[in-house]
Amino acid sequence: MNVRATPEVIDVISDVVCPWCYIGKRHLEASLAKLPPESRPLVRWHPFQLNPDLPAQGIDRRSYLETKFGGADRAAQIYERVREAGRAAGLELDFDRIERQPNTIDAHRLIAWAQTDGQDSDALVEALFRAYFIEGRFIGDRSVLAEIAQTCGYDAAQAKAMLDSDLGLAEIEDMGQRTRQMGITGVPFFVFNERVGVSGAQGAVTLADALAKSREAA
């Protein structure tokens, strides 16, 4: 994993189609909100594809649910628990608006592109989560991704040109393989200052404690 060499970095391994990753993002934000702005670590996002074998055009959401959960009814039961966790974190997740399950490699490439030279990509990551889980947009479409990037202040034409190239493709795939080789099989996964790891959408208190422990270890 290409982790920025700084003592104050939180690396988040996630996928933009993972609802627990969106919930975990809210918990992380709540934990950092208690810190003075000048002492908040940089948050860096790293790719983890939950469905790396999906075609570029994605698949019908119903077909996806039938394959993964054995049908829409079973998925609805599971997602109700996720909805409740989302509401507790201040999110109104709207799974019913999602029509197609996307391959997320281009979304991860866009995030990596936005983070070039250590730039903060929080607004873009937030916009991608929102587009998928609240607006039901198909974030496997490169034009849609470019539009989302534009709303976050990036040049849409430059974003689309990058996505239409092979830039970052091999790096994202390689990073995904190395992440799994590290033993990370589920997301979100948080790494605080390269010292303390936390698995899952843990609460704000747990994440704040992890940050404190990583600072003590330094």
Determine the pLDDT at residue 7: 61
Q: Domain spanning 9-217 has what CATH number?
A: 3.40.30.10
Domain ranges of the chain: 9-217
H-run or E-run covering 197? strand 196-199
H helical segments located in the chain: 19-32, 61-69, 72-88, 105-114, 122-133, 142-151, 156-164, 169-181, 204-217
Q: What is the pTM of this model?
A: 0.94
- Convert the pLDDT of each residue in 100-153 to its tens digit: 999 999 999 999 999 998 889 999 999 999 999 999 999 999 999 999 999 999
Q: DSSP states of 44-60 as a string?
A: EEEE--S-TTS-TT-EE
- Using alpha carbons only, what angle is made at residue 18 by residues 10 and 119, rounded to the nearest 5 degrees? 35
The span from the CA of 183 to the CA of 41, in Å, is: 25
In this predicted model, what pLDDT tens digit does every residue of 11-64 receive, in sequence order? Answer: 999 999 999 999 999 999 999 999 999 999 999 999 999 999 999 999 999 889
| Average model confidence (pLDDT) across the chain | 93
